[in-house]
Amino acid sequence: MSHRDYVRREVLQKTEHGPLFSWVDINPTELCNRACVFCPRSTSYPNVNFHITEDVIEKIGLDLEDIDFQGMVNICGNGEPLLCRNLLDLISRLKSFSIEMVTNGDHLSEKKICKLFDTGIDYINVSLYDGEHQLDKFHRLFENAGISRCQYTLREYWKPLPFLNNRAGSLSSGTTRQKQPCYYLHYSVQIDWNGDVLFCVQSVYNKLNKHGNILKSSLRDIWYGSSMRKYRRLLEQRRDHSPCKQCDVIGTRFGWKYVKNWEKPSISKKN
């Protein structure tokens, strides 16, 4: 993870209800051109021609403006963003915020890189899976597009990755972390292409567990709503409840200062 990612995850905006999220992950499409072994698409997850809609794009923009959002918008999710037919509309609407994108790079070209940055993207993470030979290719692409190395990262994911996880139980795994806490819900939200606020950024392949939908409620109300508050309290202790008990992700790398800043229910009642 880049220093830039770390800093943005650690932005702390306080309100009378508790800290705001600092990381918004958006899943713009259900299409992907790859089926990586560490992804549920390699087993049974379907490839579907769904794309984020204009009304969802507009509502995300309005809700983030309403809270004067200072964190990071990450366009990633569980598909390949460059296959999203409304990707440039999404970037253009959110260009007043810090936006980064994660892509496998298969559909990147010099022209497309220029268009993405001209539209409003701030940073691109390219996940490389095929080998070291990809480095020179992508460095040349970005250089020819006039993009400096401080505006992108090439992730060397063909190497063994120590931080792979079972995607909140969507993949088989021999390990669980039921006795460990998890802080994802204390600082981040996951918005699906249709406006659903999914359980967490790791549970993007499980569409059954949701906290709400931004077309029916504001993102602020969902963030401070009963569902997210309930699971934050549970996850501060352990994860022996559904849907977290099968998840093996290390959930304490970020978010501790958010945990400390959440008001405890007893304090809220006294005040």
State the pairing for strand pair 196-198/188-191: antiparallel
152-185 residue pLDDT tens:
999 999 988 766 777 777 666 656 666 789 999 9
pLDDT at residue 202 in the model: 87
pLDDT given for residue 3 in this prediction: 46
CA distance 163 to 70: 27
**Quick one: pLDDT at residue 270?**
37
The list of the chain residues with pLDDT below 70 reads 1-10, 162-163, 170-178, 263-271
pLDDT of residue 208: 83
pTM above 0.85, yes or no: yes
> What is the pLDDT, as a whole number, of residue 177?
67
Closest-CA residue to 47 (of 38, 37, 34, 36)? 34
Give pLDDT, residue 246.
Answer: 83
Are residues 21 and 224 in contact, defined by beta-carbon separation less than 8 angstroms? Answer: no
**Which pLDDT score is estimated for 9?**
59
| Closest by CA position to 98, among listed 126, 146, 64 | 64
The residues pairing with 123 across neighbouring beta strands, listed in sequence order, are 100
* Secondary element (H or E) of residue 161: none
- pLDDT for 124: 97
**Given this model, what pLDDT does residue 8 score?**
57
The proportion of the chain whose per-residue pLDDT surpasses 90, expressed as a percent, equals 64
Helix-then-strand count for the chain, H and E: 10, 10
**How many other CB atoms are there within 10 angstroms of residue 35's CB atom?**
12
Tell me, what's the pLDDT at 173? 61
